[in-house]
Amino acid sequence: MAAFISVLFDGIAYGSLLFVISVGMSVTLGLMRFVNLAHGAFAMFGGYVAYELVNRAGLSLFVALPVLLVGFAAVGAVLERVLYRWVSRTRPLDQVLLTIGVAFIATAIATWIWGPDQHSIALPAALKRQLHVFGLDLNVYRLFLIAMIVAITAVLHVLIERTRFGAQLRAAVDHPEAAAGLGIPVDRVFGLSFALGSGLAAVGGALGVEVLGLDPSFTFKYMVYFLLVVVVGGQGSIVGSAIAAISLGVFDVVGKYYVPGAGAFLIYALMVILLLVFPHGLIRRGR
Amino acid sequence: MTAAAGARAAPSTGLPDDRWTRWDTALWLAPIVAFAVFSDRLELGRDVVIAALFALSLDIVLGYTGVVSLGHAAFFGLGAYTAGLLAHHGWGEPLTGLVCAAAVAAVAGYATSFLVVRGAALGQLMITLGVGLLLHEAANKAHALTGGVDGLGDIVMWRLAGVFRFDLEGRTAYLYSLVVTFAAFLLVRRVLSSPFGLSLRAIREGMARMPALGVPVGRRLVAAFTLAAALAGIAGGLQAQSARVVTLDVLSFERSATVLIMLVLGGAGRMYGAFIGAGLFMLARDYLARKDPVYWQLWIGGLLIVVVLLARGGILGLVETLRARRRTP
């Protein structure tokens, strides 16, 4: 039983990471129907930059995270402006091709600068400890991950449900044309949410080095997971994405622990089944 | 999709014309000349021909019907493993092996198509991606059957038609692949020029309107997807029979992505786009990747961005644009 709870705990922590990385994509995909296969590249570079900041420059991970959030939001805003905007209203095929191109370039750059080997980040001492609660061994790092998802979900929820920007965002997700007709700057809302999503992905990537690993194949390796969170969760739905991410994380970790022979097979099977049962995601925003 | 982007991206919309012209002769003479001139690089030539057939099969789905598939390698891999396993277990007859490869891939394509028909663009993309990954992982885990990451070896081919031995220089394999691809090309061109092919193009242009014209959209998509899967299976079968080894990468996502890139580079929905794209891509990869695979990824990524931003119709699309400009100065 204790073993099961500890595996479950790992799964939830893993799912939290998937959520932090994918939530930005959920918004942009829901908002613009923009298929971004290169979203994981932000997480990957977030991990590498965190490696430089923490291991080379000697910063604490806690200091590096806000830097990453702001820095990558700026990078995301620029990239959206110079590249993605050109295809944001075209066929899914063009978006798929362009973002696969970006993912290839990201992989090449990462290999070029950091080489093909795995990198890891020195965790702050505060996160390395184990907690003993009710006879269970809880890893503080994983608790921290779960706390992060709760905090981020809460902040995003307030941002989307309580602010003017959030109202514009919801209107634009529900009906872009009508929202534009009412004078909502849909392009700018899209750009801002893209930037925010990029920043969050970088934070998720930095946090996730311990769990997800960090090497140049990252973008393609986890592409499916990020897409899956968004598609299963329902596009543009924060709560749906959170539920999807955590169930996915738990399912994957529990599956790999109890049925090691099946490997990633279970997760892909789950993916196909979920797509068939919930073609519009778990939580469908009113349309 | 905006009207402007659609017009720029859509292939020529004239009535299909499958009459044989000088251009056809010229284009099909090229691989025969290559056979004579580059007799020491026939293995690469064979790979180009097989890639072209694979890209052609994707063109039916993507270029003509407008369904984006990120898992087309599933059918290529099924064909490869079918042909490979038959020969591995003692049935080395090439042509029947190819027929079996096509049949298995077609059945899988038929089954998958019902999942694909259900979804919108994003759903289709995810379903095809999911099926591709599922098969890749299944082949990886079914070590006893497929050899897993070690690959499937010991493939012994009998003489082709009881006469031509598969020689070490790959002459038989090259010509065999070329003839099969040519036959597939003729079939595809005939099918796509038929009223059935026209209805596929109509579905691509406006899926919502087709039921009103009495076109059973779902059934047409199923038929197109099954045909494409069968041809991809044949391409995979050719690959297994001529390379005499099947590795796990026949089912990989990378293969699905690469074939998509080839097709788009050459020009989707334009018949010869698959051939031009496959030829250029494979030759460029042979040249550039030998220097440094990292640079190759950089190249291909940059090329994709350029094609999407500047040349939506690929190389053939550019040629069409230039010709149209000359006609109307």
A87 CB within 8 Å of a chain B CB: yes
Query: Which stretches in chain B have pLDDT values below 50?
Result: 1-9
Q: Please, what's the b/e burial string for A87-103 (b: 16 or more CB within 10 A of its CB; e: otherwise)?
A: bbbbbbbbbbbbbbbbb
The mean pLDDT value for A29-38 works out to 76
Q: What domains lie within chain A, and their CATH numbers?
A: 2-277 (1.10.3470)
Put simply, the answer to whether B264 touches A97 (Cβ < 8 Å) is: yes
Identify any residues that bridge with A133 across adjacent strands, giving them in sequence order. Answer: A136
Within 8 A of A89 by CB-CB distance, chain B residues are 1-2, 5
Given the structure tokens 């939530």, which residue do they identify? A23
The kind and range of the H/E element at A61 are helix A61-82
Tell me how far apart the alpha carbons of residues B221 and B202 are, in angstroms, rounded to a whole number: 12
Q: Is A193 on the interface with B (CB under 8 A)?
A: no
Q: Which two tokens stand for residue B317?
A: 């699309």
Residues of A in contact with B127 (CB under 8 A): 272, 275-276
Mean pLDDT for the stretch of residues A85-112: 86
Q: State the Cα–Cα distance between residues B251 and B137, nearest whole angstrom.
A: 9
At residue B38, φ and ψ (nearest 5 deg) are -100, 55
B129 CB neighbours in chain A (<8 A) are: 224, 227
C-alpha to C-alpha distance for B275 and A201, rounded to whole angstroms: 39
B302 burial type by CB count under 10 A (0-12 exposed, 13-18 middle, 19+ buried): middle
Helix (H, G, I), strand (E, B) or coil at A110: helix
Could you tell me if A23 and A196 are in contact, meaning their C-beta atoms sit under 8 angstroms apart? Answer: no
CA A263 to the chain's CA centroid: 22
Supply the DSSP symbol for A217: T
Contacts of A187 in chain B (CB under 8 A): none
Give yes or no for A181 touching B (CB within 8 A): no
| CA atoms of B135 and B236, how far apart (whole Å) | 14
Asked if A101 lies within 8 A of B127 by C-beta distance, the reply is no
* Positive or negative: CA dihedral B83, B88, B94, B96: negative
What is the residue whose two structure tokens read 């570079």?
A: A45
Query: What is the β-pairing status of strands A136-139 and A130-133?
Result: antiparallel
Nearest to B301 among A104, A111, A264 (CB): A104
Take residue B73 and report the two structure tokens written for it: 């390698």
Which has the higher per-residue pLDDT, A99 or B18? A99
Contact B104, B85 (CB under 8 A): no
Taking an 8 Å cut-off on Cβ atoms, the answer to whether A279 and B308 are in contact is no
C-alpha span between B238 and B240 (Å, rounded): 6
Give the pLDDT confidence score for residue B329 in this predicted structure. Answer: 61
CB contact under 8 A, B298 and A109: yes
**B5 lies within 8 A of chain A by CB:** yes
Of the candidates A166, A212, A247, A183, the one whose C-alpha atom is nearest the C-alpha of residue A17 is A212
Is the pLDDT reported for residue A62 higher than 90? no
CA proximity to B51, closest of B231, B257, B259: B259
Give yes or no for a contact between A242 and A233, defined as CB atoms under 8 angstroms apart: yes
Residue with the bigger pLDDT between A130 and B88: it is B88
Residues of A in contact with B126 (CB under 8 A): 227-228, 231, 271, 275
Confidence check: pLDDT of A261 > 80: no
**Element holding A257 (H helix, E strand):** helix A238-258
* pLDDT of res. B5: 39
Q: A194 to each of A27, A75, A80, B131, how far by Cα in Å? A: 8, 10, 7, 29
Instruction: Using an 8 Å CB-CB cutoff, list chain B residues near A275.
Output: 115, 119, 123, 126-127, 130
Burial B170-195 (b: 16+ CB within 10 A, else e): bbbbbbbbbebbeebbeebbebbbee
Tokens of A202: 């970088």
Q: 10 Å Cβ neighbour count for B156?
A: 11
Q: Where are the domains of chain B?
A: 22-252
* CA–CA gap between residue A197 and residue B107 (Å, rounded): 41
Number of neighbours of residue B30 by Cβ within 10 angstroms: 11
Task: Read off the tokens for A286.
Answer: 């009113």
Measured distance CA(A165)–CA(A223) in Å, rounded: 29
Measured distance CA(A27)–CA(A157) in Å, rounded: 12
Burial label, B161 (beta-carbon count in 10 A; 0-12, 13-18, 19+): exposed
Task: From B51, B62, B45, select the one nearest B10 (Cα to Cα).
Answer: B62
What is the DSSP secondary structure assignment for residue A132, as one 8-state letter? E
DSSP-assigned letter for residue A238: H
Q: Determine which helix (DSSP H) or strand (DSSP E) holds A26, and give its type and residue range.
A: helix A2-32
Residues belonging to chain A: 287
Q: What are the beta bridge partners of residue A137? A: A132
Instruction: Mutate one of B113, B256, B308 to test the A interface: name it (highest A CB count within 10 A).
Output: B308
For an interface test with B, give the residue of A79, A85, A100 to mutate (most B CBs within 10 A): A100
Among B123, B133, B312, beta carbon nearest to A224: B133
Q: Cα separation of B99 and A18, whole Å?
A: 44
Q: Is the dihedral of CA A133, A136, A140, A145 positive or negative?
A: negative
Give the ipTM of the model, two decimals please: 0.82
Residue in the structure block whose two tokens are 């998802």: A149
DSSP state of A56: I
DSSP labels, A64-93: HHHHHHHHHHHHHHHHHHHTGGGTTTS-HH
- What ranges in chain B are assigned the alpha helix state H? 3-9, 22-37, 42-59, 73-88, 94-118, 121-141, 143-146, 171-193, 195-205, 217-243, 253-266, 273-291, 293-310, 314-327
For B107, counting Cβ atoms within 10 Å of its Cβ (0-12 exposed, 13-18 middle, 19+ buried), the class is middle
